[in-house]
A and B are shown apart, each in its own frame.
Chain A
Amino acid sequence: MDLNYFLILSAFLFCVGVYGVLARKNGVLVLMSVELMLNAVSINLIAFSAFQHNVSGQIFALFVITIAAAEVGVGLAIVLLIYRNLKSPDLDKIDELKG
């Protein structure tokens, strides 16, 4: 099977994630787009693991999944705090540093 199938699909998912991070206003949806990007990276790692016949890629994918779980936990706690303080989960309401 062509290695590029997997790599180009993962590049597409990554770019969709970039679009979501830039275009979404709601904090939860931004975190979902970050998950898309992390998944694209995992697909890349697994594809290269199969291509090189080296199990390290799978181990790294496991680490990426673990980090993603930690990131979602802390990220959602932060979005919850933003909601409590500003009464809205929208990230563009956080403009208190603007002069």
Chain B
Amino acid sequence: MWEQDVAFWIIALAMAAASIGVVRSRNIVHAALYLVVVLAGAAALYILLVAEFVAWVQVLIYIGAVVILFLFGIMLTRAPMGTEAGQLDNDQRWGAAVVALFLLGVLVALLVDAFGGTNIRFSDALVAQGKTATVGDSLFRNFLVPFEVVSMLLLGALVGAVVLARRD
């Protein structure tokens, strides 16, 4: 099992460093590219957890579509490419750091207390569960109504975005 641990630590360290890059980078395009690293790392973690279908959906939708949307947003709002501090951040940086560290401390204490020592068992049943057929079966058998609701929500969001962004 040590190969999985090594893979996890490589992915986790890359994701942690890149996520700091997203919130600290002084260049907005670099922040978007760091976001790509975080999203790809998440997809790799899904493969590590034997969730193939979700991993590829993550690659297609997040890295393929959402990041492109972000780059369009950066282009259309003519975001500053300058490197001086304070152009992208506001002045409540220290307060934000205190809030984030406090939240992290509370969450880690809670998780260690609640799930310390619990292991994920990688069995044949888990591998069968990651197959696209199983996911599709469950999606259209047990979650059909939420699936339809989410399609209507996507349609509504699409129309809403067009109406908002259109120039009259």
Q: How large, as a class, is the contact surface on chain B?
A: 35 or more
Q: Report B85-99 residues with CB < 8 Å from chain A CB.
A: 87-90, 92-93, 95-97, 99
Contact residue among A20, A47, A66, A69 (Cβ-Cβ distance under 8 Å from B49)? A47
A-B contact pairs, 30 of them (CB 8 A): A2-B120, A5-B12, A7-B115, A9-B16, A11-B107, A11-B108, A12-B19, A13-B15, A13-B16, A15-B101, A18-B103, A22-B99, A23-B93, A28-B28, A29-B22, A29-B88, A51-B118, A53-B126, A53-B129, A59-B139, A61-B46, A61-B51, A61-B54, A63-B146, A65-B62, A69-B65, A76-B72, A77-B164, A80-B73, A89-B79
- Residues 127-145 of B, flagged 1 when their CB comes within 8 A of A and 0 if not, give 0011000110011001100
Interface centre among B22, B92, B103, B116 (most CB of A within 10 A): B22
Residues in B lying within 8 Å of A, measured CB to CB: 1, 4-5, 8, 12, 15-16, 19-20, 22-23, 28, 31-32, 35, 38-39, 42, 45-46, 49-51, 53-54, 57-58, 61-62, 65-66, 69-70, 72-74, 76-79, 87-90, 92-93, 95-97, 99-101, 103-104, 107-108, 111-112, 115-123, 125-126, 129-130, 134-135, 138-139, 142-143, 146, 150, 153-154, 156-158, 160-162, 164-165
